[in-house]
Each structure stands twice: as C-alpha cells, then as structure tokens.
Structure 1
Amino acid sequence: MPTSKKPISFFVHHQGRGHARRAMAIIRHFSEDRPVSVMTADPSLFDGFERAIDVIALPNMIGAAVPTQALYDQPTPSVMHCVPMGVVEMRQTMRRILDHLDGIDAGLFVIDVSAELALLSRIASVPAVSIRMHGDRNDPGHLGAYEASVAMLAPFDERLEQADYPAHLREKTFYSGGLCTTAAAVPSREEARRRLGLDPDREIVVALTGGGGAGTPYAPLTVAARAAPETLFITIGPLHLEGHETDFANLVNAGWVDNVVEYLAASDIVLASAGDNTVHEVAMLKRPYIVAPEWRYFNEQQRKAERLSELSAAVNMPAWPGDFAGWQAVLEKARGLDVEKLATLYEADAAERAARWLEATVDGLWEGAPTAAATSANAVNTAIERA
C-alpha cells in the first residue's frame, strides 16, 4: 500500500528475548500504513510475528576477533563503550545499518540498545530515539548518546526513574508507563493451581530467570527450602548449579515452560531478577515480589531493584541468603508488602502509548518536509535551469 508516512526502523539487540519482544509489542500498535523495519543480529527472534515488517540481518559482532595485537592495544575513547579496531563484522554492521537507513529514507531510528549507534545516527543525520535503561549511565558515552538522540523512550513509570538522571535529559524522555510484553491471558490463582495440579492452599514461591541470564542459583534455594519447609518453591527457566546441591521435596524445578504466566499466577510470592518485562509482569499479576538483581553492565538491575525497594514495591535481595534466618526474614518482608504499590507501576496500554508517541514524534519532525517526488522534481528543474 503506497504511503507518504516516513519509515521507522528499529535496531534490536539480540541478547535475551526482551528487546525483541518489546519492539514487537510496540510495533503491533503502529498504523497499518506505517513502513517498519527491524535490524538485528538474530532475525529468528521475529519468526512468526504477525505484522508485515522488513527484518534485516546484521553480522554478529559479539566476540569477533581483533586481527592484531597492536589493534587490540588501542584504548577505547571515553565517549564510546565497545569499539574494537579492525573488526570486519563491525564495519559490515555499520555499513549495513547506514545503507538500510539511507535506502528506506528512514524518518526515525529507534535504538534498543546501543550508545554508539545513537552517535552514528546523529552523524548520519537520521533522527534517533534511544530506549532508556536503568543503571550507572552518566558516563560520557551514555550522555553523548542521549544528547545525540532527539528523545528517549523509557518503557517504565517515571516514578522508577533514578534521581541522578540529568534534568535536561528527563525533559526529553517519554515515559510510557510499565510496559509488559506478556500477551497470554492471566488465570486466577485458583484456576492456575488447578491447571498445574498444585495444592490450592499451600504457600508457593515461584523463582524464575529470563533468557539473558546465567540461571537461577539453585544452591541458595536449597537453603530456602529447609528454612521454610511448609512452602513449596518452584523454579522456572535455567538453573545455575554449584555441583553439591541436595534436592528437597518442597523444591521443584519446572525448567523451560511455555505457560510461565500460569506458574506466576499460581504463586503467592515471586522471586525473580529485575529485567524490564519481569518487573512489569509481576506488577501486572499483583504478586509480592522479591527482586534478586542479576549482574548486568552498568549495574542496570541493581539500580532498578534499589528504586523498587525505595518505592516499597518490592523486597530488594542483592545477595542470596545462605542461612535459615536470612531466608525467613526475606520471606516475611515479602508477605508484608502492599502489592498495590507495585501494581501501580504497570500500565496495560504502555506499548500502545509508546507506539503513538513514536509516530507523533516522527510525524512532527518531518511535518512540512518536501516529499521525495517534490525533491526529485526540484532537482530536475534546477538541472534544467543550469543547462
């Protein structure tokens, strides 16, 4: 369908699944006649996506070899984070991105996430929106990327923003509210337990890990099982094993499951990392939340967990207890949480709000610009006049 709307292109990091799911959640709400493309090193993340989009495969730069020691020894500029020298895959990635943006005459480049690509986009004269993430990001590289972007999109409630985020950047940030990418219907606690064959009355703690982490630490959970023998602990996703764990009857590993929402709905308490979607999924379900931040670059999850704790929306567990009393104290704090404080951080229409804002942003930036046909006609007329 012919359209005069400027295309929006996304860069989607392929680590884990969260970046791709967030992009799809937003793209679903774009106008049908909005041209959309996605650039990623793992196109399979978008397999089965119901909306017609162009998916452009990028080389996988992660772990690509630097060809010589002299190139390897070159220091990283303070305004950048990951720019090794002499890497063919990196050069090919940058060329492919620029060729694509130029080829579609992109009106907006949504970057989730890369500080360097925000700088590249500004140098290439393409307006960029950077996805805002938590963490210690007041370094020259991040600040430069934010300042190079026309705006930032924060897929969370403004109350979760960090106090050290500069005021001039907050002013150019759109807060969509808590964006959850989970599309499955949420059963009641009773119905979820019936489907899963779980005791309708027993306290259940569900511990889960997303696709971007190393797995839920299993050894500490064996201590939790002994500290709370009347509680059933269920783990979802991969486990990190030390090799010396002893299994307990009230500690069950469900592994990778397709019905994660059912397990979460069946829970009395959720123990999970501080990934963006996880936070908002637990908020959507209104469950007491023990947040166990995983290691991420720039302390992303640690800072987010701190904000959740400061808002009394979750129990921050920066270290996994190794003793009975430690687990008993954490569980008791979780039981005493007011779940409404977490629930208010979730917005059912956050993805739609983000989509509408992105479309309004690109339309506003290009309002009054000559169309491609008009530009071509002007070029022809100029050439005739000069002849």
Structure 2
Amino acid sequence: MKKPISFFVHHQGRGHANRTMALASEFSKDRPVSVLTAGPHLFDGFSRDIEIVTLPNMIGAGVPTPRLFAEPTPSVMHCVPLGVSEMRRTMRTILDHLDDRGTGLFVVDVSSEIGLLSRVASIPSIQIRMHGDRSDIGHIGAYEAAVGMLAPFDERMEQDDYPAALRAKTFYSGGLCTTEDDVPDKAEARARLGLDPAREIIVVLTGGGGSGTPYAPLTVAARAAPDALWLVLGPTHREGHETDFSNLRELGWVRGVTDYLAAADIVIASAGDNTVHEIARVGRPLVVMPEWRYFGEQARKSEALVRLGAAVSEPVWPGDLAGWRALLDRARALDPHAIRTLYDPDAAQKAAGWLEGLCDELWNGAAEGEDKDENGPALSVVA
C-alpha cells in the first residue's frame, strides 16, 4: 500500500484549499490522502476520496490570563500564545492523525510552526512556498526542517534574495491556477456577458483573502477614463464619501470570473497567487495593486511581476486623474505574452508527481509498518 500524503490547509481565503484540491486530484487513485483544516467547508463537493479532519479554529482564540499574554514570542516562532486550549487540541489532533495513518509526507500550506512540529515528530514535511520577506529565523528554520519546498509559480518569479541552498530544495511547478473554466476569446466573452464588443472594458478583481478593493480610488479612475466601462468583481471597501459614476459598476461575487477576465482590455487586481495565475491563464494586461499581507507577500510578488514585464504597478492607488491616466497608458503598452507565459496548464500534475515521487523515494525499502515499530528501525537515533 502506498504511504499516505496528508495536508495541513490554512482556512484564510480559498486559495490554500483550492490548491490542495488541484494537487490531490492529480494523485494516483490508490494514494491515501487526508486534509487537516479548520475550514472543512472549503472542501464541500470535492469529488476525490479524501479524509477530512476538522481542526479547532485557533485564530482569535483567547489567552486565559494577562500574565500568560505578557510572555514574549520566541524569535523562532511567529504566533504561539500560551495557555490556549485550541492550540493544544490542534497540535494533538495533527500528531495523532499523522501517527495513526502512518503519513509518509505532510504538506504544510502554510505554517512555519506546524512544519517544525512535523520535524520534531519525525514526519517528513513539505512547505508550500510563498513570496515575501521571510528571512527570519522562524521561516528559515521551517524551510530547513522540511524535506523540500513546493513553489506553485514559475521559477522566474523567484526572489533574488532567496538563499541558494533553499532554492536548491525547492520544486517550481510553474504557474498553478485552480480555475478550470474554458477561456473564450474576447468577442465571445463579451457576447456571453452582454457587453459592448467595441468599448474599452477594465475589470477590477478582488481575491477572497482580504477585506475588498478600496472603492474611492476607483471613482477617481472612472472619472479619469470616462469612455471605459469599469466592472468591479468581489467586495469593495468604502470610506463613506464616495460618489458613484455610471461607467463604474460593482458586481460583487460573480460566477464565471474567467469570462469577465477574457472580456477585459485591462485587469486591475491584487497579487494573490491564484488571482495572478487566473489572469495569466487568460493573458490580459495587468495593473497589480498589492494588498497588505504578512511579511510583504503581495508586495514582493508584485515586484517580480513588474520585473518580468508582466504587470505595471504603483506603491499606492492613484488619487488624481493624471495619475490614473498615466498608469492605464502603461498598462495598455504591456505585451500580454509576458504574463501568459507565467501560467503552466500542467503545473498541478507536475507538482503532484513530484510529491508522490518524493514520498515513495523517502520510504523506499521500509518494511510495511516499520515506521511504527517500537523497537526502532535498523538506523538508530543518537541523542
């Protein structure tokens, strides 16, 4: 029997879960797969046979006393408050599950602490790589503790400051997009959506991990390009003083995001992993406006996109008409081929093959159940 592969899946947004489902769908059918997450609803309707283990939601869990709350966080970790029962139950549930199933490879998407926990428990782990300023001892420790890292993006998107030794143990899948809708050409997409075939259309896209696109800058944009139709997908954040304009439409969450992207002349979006690769898959000029994320994740990814000529960006949203007009002119001058090459339709298949191959390689030669033998394997551990 093949060794099981287990996933820890962070439940913020939908990207971590969608990526896990894309990978698991490509595993061989006889590979046991389990998912440990505080967001089991994210996997509703997933067709592949996987085991879902519900974890407590640790986010926002209270620390029981002021004295415990006052204890400083050690530099090797990022978020480890003391006295939190939800954290104890989470770690116990993870370890019990991995031990009971005899997990061969634990894919962590994402948590440095859980990656370190896996190494302490003698379970090989993979860290999903994300962009950002992650040279702190906590991240480096988790990367060094892992048997490998999976970067679900093109290697050209790598940061120059990422250590060579860690880069050597990273598998770059190419741009992994979890959306599978067919991509129509621009004319067909506009016909499907009932949009003017000739008018300039600018689509603003918000991912699922934040509070929404700020609406006020978009009202200035609509005034700066009054002949364009601005379509805003996903939530927006209002400050309360905005003036609406007829060429600026808020559509909220929509079905068939791919059709809207295909209908667009320009896309304005944040720098979330799947968001970027959705746009790359369609191949539209991108204005990337990074949202705040821990460790500067989206800012660093935006830098890589601009460096490759795949997008244009500004440090902050333009606040005047001239600023918006200049930014849009730069977007119109982009060659869409640059961003299109960052998407790889076989990325999930490549990543899944690498994970399965690594798992089998790590355990090749182990007798059935040998990892659970209390007498120990042939290689002894010296303290």
TM-score normalised by L of structure 1: 0.95
- Paired position in structure 1 for 2:101: 104
1:268 maps to a residue whose letter is D
SS class of match (1:39): strand
Q: Work out which of the residue numbers 171, 176, 179 in structure 2 matches 1:179.
A: 176
Pick aligned residue for 1:347 from 333, 344, 347: 344
Equivalent residues of 1:157, 1:176 under 8 A apart: yes
Give the match for residue 331 of structure 2. 334
Per the TM alignment, residue 322 of structure 1 is displaced from its structure 2 partner at its CA by: 0.4
Aligned to 2:378: none
Alpha-carbon distance in structure 2 between the residues aligned to 1:373 and 1:134: 37
Q: Offset of 1:317 from its aligned partner?
A: 2.5
Cα deviation digits, residues 137-158 of structure 1 (max 9, x gap)? 0000000000000000000001
2:230 maps to 1:233: yes
Q: CA RMSD in A?
A: 1.2
5+ residue gaps, structure 1, are: 380-387
Q: Is the 8 A contact 1:308 1:316 kept in 2?
A: no
Tell me what 1:296 maps to.
Answer: 293
Q: Which residue of the other structure, out of 132, 143, 146, is the alignment partner of 1:146?
A: 143
| 2:240 paired residue number | 243
Matches within 5 A, 1:247-266: 247-266=244-263
> What's the CA shift for 1:56?
0.3
Aligned to 1:87: 84
Task: Give CA-to-partner distance per residue, 1:165-189, whole Å, 9 cap, x none.
Answer: 0000000000000000001111221
| Distance of 1:160 and 1:195 partners within structure 2 | 34
2:273 counterpart of 1:272: no
Give the Å deviation of 1:375.
Answer: 7.6
CA shift, 1:373, in A, is: 7.8
CA contact (8 A) 2:102 2:371 kept: no
Percentage of pairs with the same residue: 67
Structure 2 equivalent of residue 367 of structure 1: 364
CA contact (8 A) 2:133 2:295 kept: yes
| 3-state SS of 2:165 partner | helix
> Is residue 358 from structure 1 mapped to residue 359 from structure 2 by the alignment?
no
Aligned equivalent of 2:55 = 58
Look up the match of 2:201: 204
Q: Supply the distance in 2 between the matched residues of 1:282 and 1:262 (Cα, whole angstroms).
A: 11
Correspondent of 1:166 among 137, 146, 163:
163
Give me the whole-angstrom Cα distance separating, in 1, the residues matched to 2:54 and 2:260: 34
- Alpha-carbon offset, residue 262 of structure 1: 1.0
Q: Any idea what the Cα deviations from partners look like across 1:6-63, whole Å, max 9, x if unmatched?
A: 0000000000000000000011000000000000001000000000000000000000
Segments of 4+ in structure 1 off by > 3 A?
Answer: 373-376
Tell me the amino acid that sits aligned with residue 146 of structure 1: Y
Matched letter for residue 236 of structure 1 = L
